[in-house]
Amino acid sequence: MVVKGESRMGTKIDGNTHLFAVIGDPIAQSISPEMHNRIFEKMNANKAYMPLRIKPQDVEGAIPLLRDNFKGFNVTIPHKQEIMKYLDEIDQRAKDYGAVNTVKIENGKLKGYNTDGLGFVRSIEKEGIKLKDKRVLLLGAGGSSRVVAYELLLGGCHVTVSNRNLKRAEELKKELIKSTGNQNIDACDLEQIKKGYHYIVNATPVGTYPATEAMAISEDAIGGAELVYDLIYNPDQTKLLKAAAAGGSRTINGFPMLFYQAVKAQEIWLGQPIPEEVTAQVFEEMKSYVLKKLGK
């Protein structure tokens, strides 16, 4: 049964409530509890989700508590790699990414997944955007870049990874060829960027609040791209997205990816799809919630 409306009465926890969490340090800024608890409430599920601050040196010691009291948990900075040491099983996608952001606990066993890339792909699909045969400029060579590039390659794109540190971009290129078996990837530094890409994806933190006047590339480098996707969602419209929109490009910020990776995590925990009615309703509610938090 799906609960209608935006008003929320809060989650009542009893002895039968299944508990979920997000672990990280810091964790107070996370909007994950708001997203997940809204979905649980819409589905009338006796489940609750909470933030748990766990310091890096305490991860190993927290495993028994998580194993014995929770049905699953999300993992955020700085634990996405460290948590892998303590899991009983790891999904192949998470192995390829080299990071885990979702853990399901079943019969005392911890299995790790990574839903970030699937969240990115779903956010693209929701907009009716096609990937096959598109030339994509990917800015950055960190963990988010690896995830996005992996999915773009699987989707049939030709990807160019651009990074200030060219050596790191070249290393990521080699790692992705190995994990995907796909050779359709190049690397360049930011000074070598040329126009002519169908899509541009910013997977760097450049432009994040409070440094909102920064851009990872120049306006000229946008060069009439069909789509500019910035993984940042604070601010809602980065300088990069504003410049892209002014030039006629379609734009997407990082909120849809954040939302749909959370939906995929819930589907893993529940073992079934979340109804589209629920995801559509919570998406709009959370979009308003985030804008309100950002003072919009």
Active site residues: 80
Of 233, 230, 203, the C-alpha closest to 31 is: 233
What burial class does residue 241 get, using C-beta atoms within 10 Å of its C-beta: 0-12 exposed, 13-18 middle, 19+ buried? buried
264 Cβ neighbours under 8 A, 6+ residues apart = 102, 115, 118, 119, 122
What is the distance between the alpha carbons of residues 242 and 249, in angstroms, rounded to a whole number?
Answer: 10
Dihedral angle sign, alpha carbons of residues 135, 141, 144, 147: positive
Q: In what order do the strands lie in the sheet with 72-75?
A: 47-53, 18-24, 72-75, 102-106, 109-113, 89-90
